[in-house]
Amino acid sequence: MRPTLFLAALLAFAPLMPVQAQEAVAAENAPEVAPVLPAITVSTVGLAKLSDRIIASGLVAAVEEVQVAPLVEGQPLDLLLVDVGDMVTEGQVLAVLSKTTLELQKTEAAASLAAAKSSIAQAEAQLVEAQTTRDEAQRVADRTAKLREQGTAPQAQADTAQANALSANARVMVATQGLEAARAQLALAEARLENVDLMLSRTEVKAPVAGKIVQRNAKIGAIATAAGQPMFVITRDAALELRADVAETDLLRLAPGQKAHLRAGGMMDGTVRLVEPSIDPVTRLGRARISVDSANDSLRTGMFVEAEILAAETEALAVPVTAIGSSTEGATVMRVTDGVIERVAVKTGIRDGGLVEIVEGLSQGDVVVTKAGAFVRPGDRINPVPAPAAVN
């Protein structure tokens, strides 16, 4: 007999059967109900373009500041030709010192030079005279000596002639030394004159480099001195940089040449110029120097700026951050195979937004639990629900 006919027959005689028997027959012939599996969101492991970004912040400063001090001491300042914010070229005159005292010194040095030249002329004349006298005395001494040998001249006359020759030689030596002294005085006078000329040329305070004037301490009438504050401070080539403080854990990932995006009232590009080799022992922060375009007028020295440094960029396997768990073995994920959960240890890399790079442990195409990983255990069966496509 077919089951439906049998069931109909039983139902026809149901009023005649006990209640317990009726329930047993109904339970025996009820259809089987499938178990309800938990719906769990899952994601497929795939390739994604990931960027390792380091966030830093700091103050804007000049790449190099050049201090300009006067090269001539003790002269009052007569003229100022530049002000703060002016762009200057190398060798441009910034200020002019008084020349009155130096011009008087130049006149005195010129007079000393003329006197030295006159002394040389006199010394040369004296030397010529002394040499002539010496030559004549030597000839007389030679003739007298011959006459003495012939017996026609007394010994006293010969001795006198010889003494006169020696005396003439001594006068030549004195005249020669006098001439050397006069020449030394001439060299000294020339050096003094050259020194005064040099000091006069230095009364024009010139820019040693091209750049922007960021500080001016010079004042009209003030006495120029290098002992105090510099007259001017110039930013070489107007070049600025961001001196960004970086956590010590991130410092080792930085290198010169890496690109950076700066936020200071707008976005601008920069480049890591230098990574300082030391770490502050108090703050535990390192410092990276990020150069910026000197033509950017929106930056000022002392501004606080945030920077996002691109340390690395790669295409690699990635999973959502929420899929990563932790255990005594380290980072783990819950992989789903035919609806069954298994725990897999993984090695992670770059974290970019909501994605994490998987270096080891998973393959492309694997399915992992995106959320609620803490509520499932290895061996559990689930109803996998694909997560919406992630936007990195």
Q: What is the CATH number of the domain that holds 278?
A: 2.40.30.170
192 and 113 in one domain? Answer: yes
Question: Nearest-5° angle of CA 330, CA 331, CA 334?
Answer: 125
Residue 223 has pLDDT above 60, yes or no: yes
Of 101-110, 178-187, 188-197, 290-299, which gets the smallest average pLDDT? 290-299
The reply to whether 228 and 261 lie within a common domain is no
How far apart are the C-alpha atoms of 303 and 57, rounded to whole Å? 11
H or E stretch at 385: strand 383-386
The whole-number pLDDT of residue 294 equals 64
Query: Any idea what the CATH number is for the domain that residue 209 is in?
Result: 2.40.50.100
Sequence-distant (6+) residues with CB within 8 A of 172 are 127, 130, 131, 134
**182, 201, 220: which is the final residue of a domain?**
201
Please give the helix or strand (H or E) that residue 129 lies within, else none: helix 100-150
Secondary structure (DSSP) of 161-208: HHHHHHHHHHHHHHHHHHHHHHHHHHHHHHHHHHHHHHHHHTTEEE-S
Which residues form the domain of 9? 1-32
Residues 175 and 186 in one domain: yes
Q: Is pLDDT above 90 for 312?
A: no
Q: Per-residue confidence at 373, pLDDT binned at 50, 70, 90?
A: low
Mean pLDDT of 276-300: 87
pLDDT exceeding 90 applies to what percent of the chain? 47
In a domain, 83, yes or no: yes
Give tens-digit pLDDT for 63-93.
999 999 999 988 999 999 999 999 999 999 9
* Whole-angstrom distance, CA of residue 81 vs CA of residue 321: 62
| Spatial separation of the C-alpha atoms in residues 63 and 103, rounded to whole Å | 40
Are residues 106 and 195 both part of a single domain? yes
The helix/strand/coil state of 91 is: coil
pTM: 0.64
Per the domain annotation, does 391 fall within a domain? no
Confidence grade of residue 392 (pLDDT, cut at 50, 70, 90): very low
Shared domain check, 111 and 195: yes
Residue that terminates a domain, selected from 287, 312, 337: 312
Closest to 202 measured CA to CA, from 75, 67, 65? 75
Are 214 and 230 contained in the same domain? yes
Query: What is the average pLDDT across 232-255?
Result: 92
**Does residue 212 fall inside a structural domain?**
yes
Phi, psi of 335, deg, nearest 5: -90, 140
By CB atoms closer than 10 A (0-12, 13-18, 19+), residue 108 is: middle
Quote the CA–CA distance of 161 and 130 in Å, as a whole number. Answer: 16
pLDDT over 70 percentage in the chain: 89
Position of tokens 């007259």? 231
Domain end position, chosen among 269, 291, 312? 312
Q: Any residues with CB less than 8 A from the CB of 221 and at least 6 apart, and which?
A: 76, 77
Same domain membership, residue 195 and residue 161: yes
Buried b (16+ CB within 10 A) or exposed e, 111-132: ebbeebeebbeebeebbeebbe
Instruction: Identify the pLDDT of residue 3.
Output: 47
CA 188 to mean position of chain CA atoms: 47
Give the span between the Cα atoms of 39 and 62, in whole angstroms. Answer: 59
**Residue 12 located in a structural domain:** yes
Who contacts 142 (Cβ-Cβ below 8 Å, separation ≥6)?
none
Rounded Cα gap, residues 121 and 179, in angstroms: 8
Instruction: Locate 166 and state its tokens.
Output: 């020696």
In a domain, 373, yes or no: yes
Q: Which of 192, 179, 210, 257 is nearest to 89 (CA)?
A: 210
Q: Could you read off the pLDDT of 150-206 as tens digits, one per residue?
A: 877 788 887 888 888 888 889 889 989 988 999 999 999 999 999 999 999 999 999
Q: Is residue 244 situated within a structural domain? A: yes
326/241: higher pLDDT: 241
Nearest to 346 by CA among 373, 326, 364: 326
**Looking at the structure, do residues 243 and 275 belong to the same domain, yes or no?**
yes
Number of domains in the chain: 5
227 within domain boundaries: yes
Among candidate residues 316, 319, 322, 330, the one with its CA nearest the CA of residue 367 = 319
**pLDDT band, residue 137 (cuts 50/70/90):** confident
Hey, is 258 helix, strand or coil?
coil
